Amino acid sequence: MTSNTPVSDQLFDRAQSLMPGGVNSPVRAFGSVGGTPKFMVSAKGAYLTDADGRDYVDLVCSWGPALLGHAHPAVLEAVHAAVDRGLSFGASTPDEANLAALVKERVSAVERIRMVSTGTEATMTAVRLARGFTGRNLIIKFAGCYHGHLDGLLASAGSGVATLALPGSAGVTAAAAAETMVLPYNDLAAVEEAFAAHGKDIAAVITEAAPANMGVVTPGEGFNAGLSRITKEHGALLILDEVLTGFRTGYAGYWGLTGQQEGWAPDLLTFGKVIGGGMPTAALGGRADVMDYLAPVGPVYQAGTLSGNPVAMAAGVATLTHATQEVYAHVDARSLELSAALSSALDAEGVDHSIQRAGNLFSVAFGTSANGVHNYQDAQAQEAFRYAPFFHSMLDSGVYLPPSVYEAWFLSAAHDDAALNRIYDALPAAAKAAAGA
244 forms part of the interface with ligand PMP (CB under 6 A)? yes
- Least distance from C-beta 276 to ligand PMP, angstroms? 9
Phi, psi of 262 (to 5 degrees): -75, -10
Q: How far apart are CA 190 and CA 301, in angstroms?
A: 32
Q: Write the DSSP string, 9-30.
A: HHHHHHHHHHSGGG-SSGGGG-
Q: How far apart are CA 389 and CA 370, in angstroms?
A: 23
Cβ neighbours of residue 367 closer than 8 Å, sequence gap 6 or more: 352, 353, 382, 383, 386
Give residue 202's identity as a one-letter amino acid code: I
CA 291-295-298 angle, 5° bins: 65
DSSP summary character for residue 60: S
Q: Which of 273, 293, 328, 406 is catalytic?
A: 273
Q: What sign does the CA torsion over 248, 254, 255, 256 have?
A: positive
356 to 395: interface string for ligand PMP, x by CB under 6 A: ----------------------------------------
118 forms part of the interface with ligand PMP (CB under 6 A)? yes
| Among the listed residues 236, 243, 345, 433, the single contact to ligand PMP using CB under 6 A | 243
Identify the burial level of 294 via C-beta atoms within 10 angstroms of its C-beta, where 0-12 means exposed, 13-18 middle and 19 or more buried. buried
Sole window of 48-56, 77-85, 241-249, 335-343 interacting with ligand PMP (rule: CB under 6 A)? 241-249
| Among the listed residues 119, 246, 253, 256, the single contact to ligand PMP using CB under 6 A | 119
Give residue 161's identity as a one-letter amino acid code: V
Catalytic-residue membership of 301:
no
| Among the listed residues 133, 142, 146, 366, the single contact to ligand PMP using CB under 6 A | 146
Q: Write the DSSP string, 194-214.
A: HHHHHGGGEEEEEEESS--SS
284 to 303: interface string for ligand PMP, x by CB under 6 A: --------------------
First-to-last C-alpha distance (Å) of the chain: 19
Residue sitting closest to ligand PMP (CB): 119
Give residue 104's identity as a one-letter amino acid code: K
Q: Are 144 and 162 in contact (CB under 8 A)?
A: yes
Q: Are strands 112-116 and 282-286 parallel, antiparallel or unpaired?
A: antiparallel
- Least distance from C-beta 361 to ligand PMP, angstroms? 11
Q: Which of 241, 328, 376, 400 is catalytic?
A: 241
- Least distance from C-beta 382 to ligand PMP, angstroms? 20
| Among the listed residues 37, 148, 389, 403, the single contact to ligand PMP using CB under 6 A | 148
> How many binding residues for ligand PMP (CB under 6 A)?
16
- Least distance from C-beta 373 to ligand PMP, angstroms? 17
- By beta-carbon proximity to ligand PMP, the closer residue of 27 and 314 is 27
| Among the listed residues 5, 32, 123, 249, the single contact to ligand PMP using CB under 6 A | 123
Catalytic-residue membership of 55:
no
Q: Are 354 and 386 in contact (CB under 8 A)?
A: no
- Least distance from C-beta 117 to ligand PMP, angstroms? 8
249 forms part of the interface with ligand PMP (CB under 6 A)? no
Sole window of 116-124, 178-186, 220-228, 290-298 interacting with ligand PMP (rule: CB under 6 A)? 116-124
Q: How far apart are CA 310 and CA 316, in angstroms?
A: 10
| Among the listed residues 58, 95, 241, 378, the single contact to ligand PMP using CB under 6 A | 241
Q: How far apart are CA 333 and CA 336, in angstroms?
A: 5
- Least distance from C-beta 245 to ligand PMP, angstroms? 7
301: left (phi over 0), alpha (psi -120 to 50) or beta: beta
Q: How far apart are CA 285 and CA 241, in angstroms?
A: 11
Using CA atoms, how far residue 118 sits from 33, 284, 306, in Å, is 26, 10, 11
248 forms part of the interface with ligand PMP (CB under 6 A)? no
Give residue 279's identity as a one-letter amino acid code: M
Q: Are 220 and 226 in contact (CB under 8 A)?
A: no
- Stretch 31-70 residues interacting with ligand PMP (CB under 6 A): 63
- Stretch 181-240 residues interacting with ligand PMP (CB under 6 A): 208, 213
- Least distance from C-beta 344 to ligand PMP, angstroms? 29
- By beta-carbon proximity to ligand PMP, the closer residue of 146 and 406 is 146
Q: Which of 47, 56, 146, 293 is catalytic?
A: 146
Catalytic-residue membership of 400:
no
- Least distance from C-beta 122 to ligand PMP, angstroms? 7
Q: How far apart are CA 193 and CA 184, in angstroms?
A: 12
- By beta-carbon proximity to ligand PMP, the closer residue of 32 and 118 is 118
- By beta-carbon proximity to ligand PMP, the closer residue of 50 and 241 is 241
| Site residues, ligand PMP (CB under 6 A) | 63, 118-120, 123, 146-148, 159, 208, 213, 241, 243-244, 272, 282
Q: Catalogue the active-site residues.
A: 146, 241, 273
